[in-house]
Structure 1
Amino acid sequence: MSLAVQTDGDRRERALAALAAKPDGVVEAIAASAEVTPAEILDILPEGAAVAAAREAFADIWTEMTTWGEVLFIVHTDDIVLEAEGSLPQGSEGHGWFNIHGDSPIGGHIRKENCASITFVDRPFHGRRSCSVWFMNEKGAPMFKVFVRRDDQRELIADQLARFEALRDSYRT
């Protein structure tokens, strides 16, 4: 049996097919089914659905998001999808980490230098609009995501949505 060399075109075709099969599915699951990275799926979303910012914008984006009120903070690995609702605390740098502590259930230490880019994602998820900010690592996977929350009627909270859109739009090229 011969091993075929995988080209970028092969990866892209698999990604496009997987996204077409489940356009409003979980990005990580779509990526896994196509054997590509989540970043490769974000790259092929329709125009405007994924707006990237440089890694150097980390602190500015984080600081702005601390003004959004309670958000949904998600860490998604192969083993767990951890969700925490709360306000993002201000961060500070020290000992090689971006440290977040405050009066919130969201806290800890982020290896900021592992952040390769930040992507504002605005796409359908299971039939509903979903807006989030993904902090991506060099491997093409999200380190963590910050989602605009929903109200009791499952609608995106208007004030957070407006803040998300304004921040995202400031990074459009």
Structure 2
Amino acid sequence: MSSPVLASTNTNDDRRQRALAALAEKPDGVVEAIASKADVTPSEILAILPEGAALTVDAAAFNDIWTELGNWGEVLLIVHTEDIVLEVTGSLPAGSEGHGWFNIHGDSPIGGHIRKENCAGITFVDRAFHGRRSCSIWFMNAAGFAMFKVFVRRNEARELIGEQLALFESLKARYQR
């Protein structure tokens, strides 16, 4: 009979192997779909991306990153659950804390309330998506799923908007060790 520690390690190894196999099958696919296929979380897929493709920083950076994103102009905000992939383009309004929520309201189609204390980490993602470079910032919960993601937008030619890409790279560089 194996010890609980050994069993736990084997389970983690199995999860990692499933994740690696699913990622190898579709390396530029939708992270949530890859995770679902491997029966792991999106954070487990982000953790095994090639070096430099994902940088996770502490959730304590939430306010600073949110404030910086508010200076990017119109971004693409995505909320991806099992039931919906909601995509909204707009600027990120300044937020304020109250009644247990991070409240965002302003002159933008993006508004509402975020349970900020559920943010366990923030991941900068720079990877190929369906053959094209994609850059985004994922606000992750403790269960390993994205609460929401903010993407560098594309222009009419489907290329990343250069000014936003430079802002993404600069912000990411501030958090690299």
| TM-score scaled by length of structure 2 | 0.94
What CA RMSD, in Å, does the superposition of the two structures yield over aligned residues?
A: 1.0
Q: 1:101 aligned to 2:109?
A: no
Cα distance in 2 for partners of 1:154, 1:144 equals: 22
Q: Which amino acid aligns with 1:109?
A: H
Q: Which amino acid in structure 2 is aligned with residue 90 of structure 1? A: A
Q: Distance in 2 between matches of 1:113 and 1:153?
A: 38
Matched, 1:51 2:46: no
User: 1:27-106 to 2 correspondence within 5 Å?
Assistant: 27-106=31-110
Secondary structure of the 1:20 match is: helix
Instruction: Give a deviation string over 1:85-127, Cα, whole Å, max 9, x none.
Output: 0000000000100000000000000000000000000000000
State the Cα distance separating 1:144 from its structure 2 match: 0.1
The equivalent of 1:140 in structure 2 is 144
Aligned-partner SS, 1:11: helix
Q: Structure 1 vs Structure 2: percent identity of aligned residues?
A: 74
Aligned letter for 1:63?
Answer: T
* Deviation beyond 3 Å, 4+ runs, structure 1: none
Give 5+ residue unaligned stretches, structure 1: none
Offset from partner CA, 1:13-55 (integer Å, 9 cap, x none) = 0000000000000000000000000000000000110011100
Aligned with residue 128 of structure 1, among 114, 129, 132: 132
- Residue 4 of structure 2: aligned partner: none
| Mapped partners of 2:171, 2:86: distance in 1 | 25
2:155 partner SS: coil
Once the two structures are TM-superposed, the CA of residue 7 in structure 1 deviates from its matched residue by 1.1
CA distance in 2, matches of 1:87, 1:153: 21
CA positional deviation for 1:9: 0.5
Secondary structure of the equivalent of 1:24?
coil
TM-score w.r.t. the length of structure 1 is 0.97
In structure 2, C-alpha distance between the alignment counterparts of 1:100 and 1:158, rounded to whole Å: 26
Listed one character per residue, the Cα deviations across residues 36-85 of structure 1 (whole Å, up to 9, x for unaligned) are 00000000000110011100000000000000000000000000000000
User: 2:158 aligned to 154, 158, 166, which one?
Assistant: 154
Gaps of 5+ in 2: 1-6
Q: Which structure is higher in helix share?
A: 2
Paired residue for 1:20, among 11, 24, 31? 24
